[in-house]
Amino acid sequence: MFYFLSKVLYALIAPLSLVIIFFILFFITKVKRNLYYGFGLLVFFSNPWLAQTVIKWFEVPPINIPSSAKYEAIIIPSGFVSNFTLDGIVRANFNDGNDRMMQAIDLFHKGVAKKIIYTGGADTVFGGFIPEAELGRAFMMKCGIPDSCIIIETLSMNTYQNAAYTAQKLSKIDPAWNQKKYILVTAGFHMRRALKCFEKQEFKVTAYSADLKSIRSRNSILNTVVPSYGGFQIWTFLIKEWIGLAVYKFKGYI
């Protein structure tokens, strides 16, 4: 129920939703104030320079990890793979966040860890999907990573569960799991919440930020002044994370 409500409630207060709500209110009530609010939010949220400036402040900065460094495993939280069936063939569908998997695969091939842990279940509320970790494992094997080097957790539905269920799984494999070092690979804007969740579960993790939104066309003059839906996307990520941090803190997840 919490998962369902979080998706529905967030959809109502997403930046684009707010703009649409004020425009609808104007057409219903004819109160010009609602029209002004709608246009004001449209201009604010569509400004890419402002959005990228704020997300640069919020993103956890990227780091380099030398090949000489050694970790127990690389952890990939879910949130970027679904699937569909075409002519009877199941096909994975990767969204914009798949950079975290690419970075994890790169780190593995550099030899900084001998294991990759993919944590993520299936979205059973909004569609019948294969567990995300299973889709991820299949793709990583195609990229040359042996199945024996991949650990998957297929029950989690959010970041808190990613951490909690992974800890439970590892405790059954290795009693000393929480004494070892791990690399956590996720989007820079998501890293703060993810890092707190995994640290809460006693993981010793190094944050390796991927999918950095603040570096995209940041120095372009046109990008500074021309409205863009990219600004809406960035604010959407930010507001979702701010709400997530507040809710997770309230529920004791972090």
Report the predicted TM-score, pTM, of the whole model to 2 decimal places: 0.87
Domains of the chain (ranges, CATH numbers): 2-59+216-251 (no CATH), 73-210 (3.40.50.620)
Close Cβ partners of 159 (under 8 Å, ≥ 6 residues apart): 77, 79, 190, 193, 194, 197, 244, 248
Express each pLDDT in 52-105 by its tens digit.
889 999 999 999 999 899 999 999 998 888 877 788 887 778 887 889 999 999
Retrieve residue 142's tokens.
């195609």
Cα separation, 138 vs 85, whole angstroms: 16
**Nearest-5° angle of CA 243, CA 42, CA 212?**
50
CA neighbor of 165 nearest in space, from 199, 115, 119: 119
Which ranges of the chain does DSSP label H, i.e. alpha helix?
2-13, 15-29, 32-45, 48-58, 99-110, 132-142, 159-173, 191-200, 221-225, 229-251
CA distances 173 to 111, 116, 151, Å, are 22, 14, 10
Q: Which residue has the tokens 């439970």?
A: 168
Element holding 86 (H helix, E strand)? strand 81-86
Cα separation, 190 vs 141, whole angstroms: 26
Q: Which residue has the tokens 């029950």?
A: 155
Q: pLDDT tens, position by position, for the chain (254 residues)? A: 555 555 566 666 788 889 999 999 999 998 999 999 999 999 999 988 889 889 999 999 999 999 899 999 999 998 888 877 788 887 778 887 889 999 999 999 999 999 999 999 986 555 567 889 999 999 999 999 999 999 999 999 899 999 999 999 999 999 999 999 999 999 999 999 999 999 999 999 999 999 998 876 555 666 666 778 888 889 999 998 998 899 899 999 99
Map residue 254 onto helix, strand or coil: coil
CA neighbor of 206 nearest in space, from 216, 214, 217, 194: 194
Provide the pairing of β-strand 181-187 with 73-77: parallel
**Nearest-5° angle of CA 12, CA 195, CA 205?**
160
Element holding 83 (H helix, E strand)? strand 81-86
CA neighbor of 154 nearest in space, from 181, 174, 182, 124: 124
DSSP per-residue string spanning 167-188: HHHHHHH-TTGGGSEEEEEEET
Q: Order of strands, edge to edge, in the sheet holding 150-153?
A: 150-153, 116-119, 73-77, 181-187, 204-210
CA neighbor of 81 nearest in space, from 114, 143, 127: 127
Express each pLDDT in 175-194 by its tens digit.
999 999 999 999 999 999 99
